[in-house]
Amino acid sequence: MAYQINLLPWREKQRARYKQRFIALLCAGVTLSVGIQWGIAQYLEQQVSIQTQRKQSLEKHISWLNNELKDLNEVGKEHEAILTRLDVVEQLQQNRNKTTQLLNILPDIITEGIYLNKVRMHEREVEIKGFSDSNSRLASMLDKLERSSQITSVEMHSIISGQKIFGHDVSSFEVSFKLLPPVKKEPS
């Protein structure tokens, strides 16, 4: 009597268990990988959201700073306009008294024996024409002009001697110079 041993059903059961275990592990692996991918996607989406919020915050701040810069530029332009007006007013104040300044200087410079025919002033440039009874008086006048702290750019254009006026020998002359603006007095 021969024993019949049937190993096939055992093998089939073992194969079925391996197959079930493989499918279970495969499903678990797929589920795990899908879960990990979903978690990574959620994390990246959260990071993108945070960066978007930061970007919006920075854009708001940049917009605010640009508005502040515009305001500062307008204030700067207004400041420049005010300074320009102040300079104009200051120049007008200085030029207002230039005739008085010239008339205050002339008596100190023009001494006895020097006579003026013409005094012409344009802006701060002054031109004097006249005659003198001696060249030494002209030299004295030029010396006073050059030493004056209120005058600059003294130029003698001409001296013509040998002319007679009222029976006296005289020398006619032509001198030009520039008046310096008055020195500002600083408050004490």
Q: pLDDT for 87-100, tens place per residue?
A: 888 877 766 777 78
In contact, 94 and 182? CB cutoff 8 Å = yes
Q: What is the pLDDT of residue 48?
A: 95
Q: How far apart, in whole angstroms, are the C-alpha atoms of residue 154 and residue 142?
A: 8
Tell me the percentage of the chain whose pLDDT exceeds 70. Answer: 91
Q: Provide mean pLDDT across the span 63-70.
A: 94
Q: Is the pLDDT of residue 77 over 80?
A: yes
| Residue 95 or residue 40, greater confidence | 40
SS3 113: coil
Q: Is the pLDDT of residue 1 over 70?
A: no
Model pTM? 0.49
In the chain, what's the furthest Cα-to-Cα distance?
A: 184
Helix residue ranges per DSSP H, the chain: 8-96, 98-109, 135-147
Q: What is the pLDDT of residue 61?
A: 95
Q: What is the pLDDT of residues 126-160, one digit of tens each?
A: 899 988 888 888 888 888 888 888 888 888 888 88
Looking at every residue in the chain, the average pLDDT score rounds to: 86
Question: Which residues, 6+ apart, have CB-to-CB distance to 138 below 8 Å?
Answer: 114, 132, 159, 171, 173
Angle of helix 8-96 relative to helix 98-109, nearest 10 degrees, comes to 50
Class of 111-177 in CATH = alpha beta
Q: Provide mean pLDDT across the span 57-79.
A: 94
Rg (CA), the chain: 52
| The pair of three-digit structure tokens given for residue 59, joined into one six-digit string | 């854009």
Q: What is the pLDDT of residue 184?
A: 62
Kindly list the distances between the CA atom of residue 31 and the CA atoms of 42, 125, 153, 188, in Å, as whole numbers in the listed order.
16, 99, 100, 90
pLDDT tier for residue 161 given thresholds of 50, 70 and 90? confident
Kindly list the distances between the CA atom of residue 44 and the CA atoms of 57, 63, 83, 147, 156, in Å, as whole numbers in the listed order.
20, 28, 57, 86, 89
